[in-house]
Structure formats: C-alpha cells, structure tokens
Amino acid sequence: MVFSSIPFLFFFLPVCLILYYMVPYRWKNSVLLFFSLVFYAWGEPVYIILMFFATAVDYCNGRLMERFDKREGMRKLFLVCSVAVNLSVLAFFKYADFLIATFNGLFSASIKPLGLGLPVGISFFTFQTMSYSIDLYRRKVPVEKNYLDYLTYVSMFPQLVAGPIVRYSVVNRELRSREIKREEVGEGLFRFMQGLFKKVLIANQAGALWEEIRALEAGSASVATAWLGALAFTLQLYFDFSAYSDMAIGMGRMLGFQFPENFNYPLSSVSVTDFWRRWHISLSSWFRDYVYIPLGGNRKGTLRHLRNMLIVWFLTGLWHGAAWNFVLWGLYYGILLILEKYVWGKALERLPKICGHIYAVLIVVVGFVIFVFDDMGALGGYFRSMAGCAGNEWWGEEFLWYLLNYKVVLAAAVVLAFPVYPWFKGKVELAGEGIKTGASLLAMAGYAVLFVVTVAFLVNDTFNPFLYFRF
C-alpha cells in the first residue's frame, strides 16, 4: 500500500494536497475521491470493484429507505439487505478459508481453501458503511443523495485502511461545507509528522526487537527475555496503530475534516475497563452502539449482561482476524471485564494507582501474546518460556544484551506511552510569552531533526507496512 512507502510520502501526498488546495471548493470532493481511489488501487486494483459494489448497495438501500419512509417494514427490509450484503462480503473474503479449515479439522474433510487475498482495510470500511445504514434506519442521519459524495466518505484515503472508524454522522456536514483554516492545516501537518515519527522511530524499532526474540529457538530465551519480547510487541502494536491514527487525523485536518480520536494513552490505564476506554476507541464505541446496546446492554439482568458482554468480545476478537487466537483474545478480555465488573473491580479501585498500572499492563502484555501467535503450539511454547516452564533460566545474558542495544527506543516508548507530551504542552501554555516562543522554536527544530532522522531510516527500509493493514 502507498501509505507505507517512500512514493506515498514524497510524491502522492504533496501532489494530492497541492491540487486539492488549488481547485475551487466545488471540485475538492472530486479531487479527494480521485486520489482516494488511486490510493486504494495502488496495491490491489481489482478490489476497487468490491468497494464500488459495497457502496452502491448501501447507497441504493439508503435511497429506498427514504423512498418508503412511512413504511417501517420496508425500511427494515432494506436495512437487513444492506447489513446482510456487507457482512456476507466481509465473511466471504475474510473468513471463508478459516471456516473451511475448521470444518476440515472437525470432520476430517479435505475441502480446498479458496486462497483469496484479503482486501486491505475491509473490516474498517465495512463497519463504516454499516454505521451509515443503521444510523439512517434510526433516523439519526439524513440520506445521502449524491453517490459520489457517499463514495468519497467511504473511500477517504487518510483513514481508509486502518481507521479510525469514521461514522457518516461525523463527516456528513463537512462533506458539503468545510472550512480549511491555515492553523488547522499547520496542526494537521504536525500531527501527521508525530505519527510518522512514532511509526518509523519507535514502532519499527520495537518490532525489530520483537522479531529477534521471537526467532529464538523454543526454550532458549530466558524468562526475562520472553517478557521483554512480549513488551516489545505491545509497544510495537500500540505505536504502530496509534501512529496510523495520528497520520489519518492529521491528514483529515489538512483536508478540512475532524476525525475522532482513536487512542488516549491506553498503556497508562489502571484497569482493563480503563484500557478499553482508551484503546481503539472508534471500534469499542462501534460495538457498544451497534451490538451491545441493541442486545440490551446491562439493562436486562445479570445473566443477559454476561451473555451480551461475551457476544461482543467474541465478535471483537473475530473482527481482528480469521484465526482462533483472535477469538481466544476477545474472550480473554470479555472474561476479564466481567470479573472486573462483578468480582474484584471495587477492590482494584481502592488500590494505589501504581498497582492498577502494573495490573493493567501485565494483562495487556499477556493479551497481546495471544494476539500475535496464530499457531496454538507456538503460543503455548511462548507462554511456557514466560512462565519459566520450558527448562529456560530466569535471567540470561541475552536479556541484558537486548536491553542495552534497544535501551533508547525502549525508554522513549515507555515514556511516550504516558501522557507526558500533553502535560508538558499544558505547562507551556500557562507560561509567559517568552517561554512559549522559545518552546515553539525548540519544537520546530526538534521536528526538523526528527524528520531528517526518519527519512534516513526510511531510505534504508522503504517498505514499512502498518500492522493493522492485515485487518
């Protein structure tokens, strides 16, 4: 995908922005649509047809809902048609081989997998189109009468392939009337650069450490090294995914759109509940509004509440990937959230915050080990290494070697995982004009240095895919 390559960063974006700013307002959506389709087609041109199909289905069903506005049964039928088509497309491309493999395993069958390539970002844009249809049925948004504007909303390249999941209600007004302010463009550029720095200088380097440790022979890594590897993957995933969201939000601002925040320093959480208020916020809120609440939420007794939570977290895990480790990962969090709600949540609140931080981080790190291994044997082996049950020592020389070689990136990642930057920015805002000016100049110089360093890293490694592209 172009978002992970040198051509995108140094050719696609500038050309898009220059042309976008040059054309009259009435042509801006057309320019945005053109570049969004080029962006998506760059890596997989055949799947442009899939996007046209999905958007046409939702657009037509939306118009039919409007046409039969007074007939509730017909409106519901068109909603069901829209949702059924979206889920069928998602299931066919993402879960067909998973279901075939599961069936073969259960019944000793030999059905040949389809071997379909997964359309990049299909989980994200499918949820966006479904949110439009459901909100339209609920009469929370007006019908979109211009198909090209609707296609622009779904295909908008900044957030197309890895979120945040932007609902139609958020950008409906801006699709028709948006003001592109100079200060917003500047803030968007800085936000985009923050994401770029996080991706290249932290996520990729933490990922390199994880890959080195993961490649060690089973049982050869000490317990400390195994935990360090799990922490490295956690940091890689957080900084990689939040970097994409930063870049998407920054690009949105440069184009005149206000995309929702997707992360709020989740690794600073004090509980699992707190973590999921801060991690992938747009996905959590999507499942809350379109699955959990319609099922009854916590309003129909304890047993129904437990059922609803397990359904939501089963689906959350399955949304992330067609493999049993993702299902296990989802249920892992579902059970932990139930336990926090009904067993130890109140006791946890009475503990010092540092205890809550340690508790939450340990659970998250263990959870992401489940997340990363789709081979159950490898998953079990890595857990044995973490627990010291694989005949490995507790503390090996390789642990200190990895720690010393990656000390800078690990220290930066741990510090930046907490809201240090907003705290510092708030202090500067309260200071005098002289300090503000000095801080601004220092920040600009820092950004310039980091940009040069980032370009140097990119030149040596031009392929930098985001982890969530696979979903």
Chain position carrying tokens 């506005």: 69
Q: Residue 358 contacts by C-beta under 8 Å, 6 or more apart in sequence?
A: none
How many CB atoms neighbour CB 129 within 10 A?
Answer: 25
Q: Residue 286 contacts by C-beta under 8 Å, 6 or more apart in sequence?
A: 127, 131, 165
DSSP, collapsed to helix, strand or coil, labels residue 179 as coil
Residue 305 designated active-site = no
Give dist(CA 253, CA 467) in Å, integer.
24
Of 259, 240, 253, 261, nearest in space to 422 by CA: 261
**Identified catalytic residue from 280, 305, 320, 357:** 320
* DSSP string for residues in 73-130: HHHHHHHHHHHHHHHHHHHHHHHHHHHHHHHHHHHT--PPP--PPPPTTHHHHHHHHH
Using the CB atoms, write b or e for 340-352: b if 16+ within 10 Å.
Answer: bbeeeeeebeeee
Give dist(CA 262, CA 277) in Å, integer.
10
Give dist(CA 332, CA 370) in Å, integer.
9
Task: Give the pair of three-digit tokens for residue 79.
Answer: 């909603």
How many CB atoms neighbour CB 13 within 10 A?
Answer: 21
DSSP, collapsed to helix, strand or coil, labels residue 323 as coil
Backbone phi and psi for residue 160, each to the nearest 5 degrees, phi listed first? -65, -45
> ω before 158 within 30° of 0 (cis)?
no
Of 383, 386, 363, nearest in space to 375 by CA: 383
Handedness of CA 368, 373, 374, 380 (dihedral sign): negative
Task: Give the pair of three-digit tokens for residue 318.
Answer: 């399955």
- Cα distances from 418 to residues 224, 238, 270, 287, 421, in angstroms, run 23, 12, 12, 26, 8
Task: Give the pair of three-digit tokens for residue 393.
Answer: 């020592």
**Annotated catalytic sites, by residue?**
320
